[in-house]
Structures are given as C-alpha cells and as structure tokens.
Amino acid sequence: MRFSDSVALITGAGSGIGKAVAVRLADEGARVILVGRTRSKLEQTAKEINSARKLPVAEIFSADVTDEEDVIELAEYVEEQFGDLHILINNAGGSNSSSILEMPADEWDKVQAANLKSVFLVSRTLGKLMASRAEQNKDEPENRAVVNVASLSGHQAGAHIPHYSSAKAGVINFTKALALELSRYGIRANSVSPGFIETPLTEAGLQNEQFVKSIERNTALKRVGTAEEIANLIVFLASREASYVTGTDVVADGGWLIK
C-alpha cells in the first residue's frame, strides 16, 4: 500500500494506460481522480475500481485538458473536494496519420494541444496546488510526484506522425524543465516513453498481421507491450521507491531502439 493517504489524479483515465494506472494506484491505497473527455468511459473505470471496495476511492471529473478554463475548474474541484494532490499522471493524448507536406495547420495544432499543451496546462495549474501544500507541510515532507506519458516517437520520429513525434519530444524536455522548477518543493517529475503498447487506440493497427510482425521483428523482446506493464513503471516513478529519480525519461519499448 505505497499510496495510502495519497490523492492521485490521472488524465486520459478512461481506457488504456491511464485506466491501468488508475486501477494500480487505487489497489495500492490511493484515492484517485479520473479525468477525461468521455464521461461514460470514466464512469466505467470508476465502477470497476469502486465495486471491489466498501468505500469508493475513485471519483471522476469530465474535462478537456487542452482547455484552460476546464483545467482551472479541475484544480478548483481537487482543492475543494480533496484539499491536496500528491500524484499527478499526465496521460491524455492522441494522434492521427498525416504527412508534413499535406498537413493542415489546424491538424498540427490539435495534436500539439492534445499531447503537449495539455501537459503544460495541467502541470502548471495542478502543480501550483501541489507546491502550495508541499510548502505548508515542509516540516513533514510527503511523497509528491508528476509522471508524464511521452512516447518512443519522441525519441525516434514515426512515419506519418510528425505532429505527434514533435509533441512527445516536447513532453520529454518539458518534463526536465518541470523537474528543475518543482525540485525546490521536493516534488519529482519524470516521463515514460512507451513503445508499441496494446490499448484501444492501437487496437485497429494491431489487427494488421503485417504490422504486428514488423513490430515483433524490430523489437528485441519480439512482442507488443501491455498497458499494465507501462502502469507498473509509472506507478514506480510515482512512489517513494523512486525518491532520488527526477528529470528523467524512462523508455519502455521492449528494446526497439537497440535493434
């Protein structure tokens, strides 16, 4: 129960990696705030978490984390309902396929907002609450951490996703700047760069046998990863066990980059 008495917020918590992280944090004692745009998905995740417990530990807040007003309302909700925030997981994001020469500017902006602007807005706005509470409790410091979900594509540009690759590279470097700024409050910030992971967002692509064989051929471990495997890493970085780790990006790609 590494997160007893902790409050954790996860964006993009309705499915995939975000859902796996929320379940894992709740299983280890945290009260979790599930954030996303699709309320039905959040409700299903909360139901799965709470159904196994006498007292509910999962709450939902429907928000578009690319919208500054939504994020401000989210921060007000967290402060009013929970009074504190210890763990922040920026997982929301998404992409589509496009080439640079054919890409409309608004498509670039949309993907940048979903994957990079959202991390900035949530980290800035919720980070203020985390920093304020850390200052108030500096005589008895608590474990506080931010983990941002980047991507293998932030290290190696993927075909037809230049907007996504650029945004995720930005997440990696933004996290380093965030770690430096939050260090004065004893708050750590790290990022995780997953490789090819089986989630609802990748489900269609992974039905392509040739694509899957290509992943297996070019990945040292010869397989696609699972959301639970990435959740394991995120939860470790959020825990006291990673108390001397900050400003780092951890690649979890099954060995794609070493092939």
Q: Which residues are catalytic?
A: 164
Strand ranges in 26-114 using DSSP code E only, listed in sequence order: 31-36, 58-62, 87-90
Instruction: State the CB neighbour count (10 A cutoff) for residue 228.
Output: 15
The string of DSSP codes covering 171-191 is HHHHHHHHHHHHGGGT-EEEE
Distance CA 223, CA 220 (A): 8
Distance CA 198, CA 118 (A): 23
DSSP-derived pairing of the beta strands 197-198 and 58-62: unpaired
- The residues, any chain, with a CB within 8 Å of residue 201's CB and separated by 6 or more, are 15, 16, 94
Distance CA 143, CA 52 (A): 26
Q: Is the dihedral of CA 178, 126, 18, 161 positive or negative?
A: negative
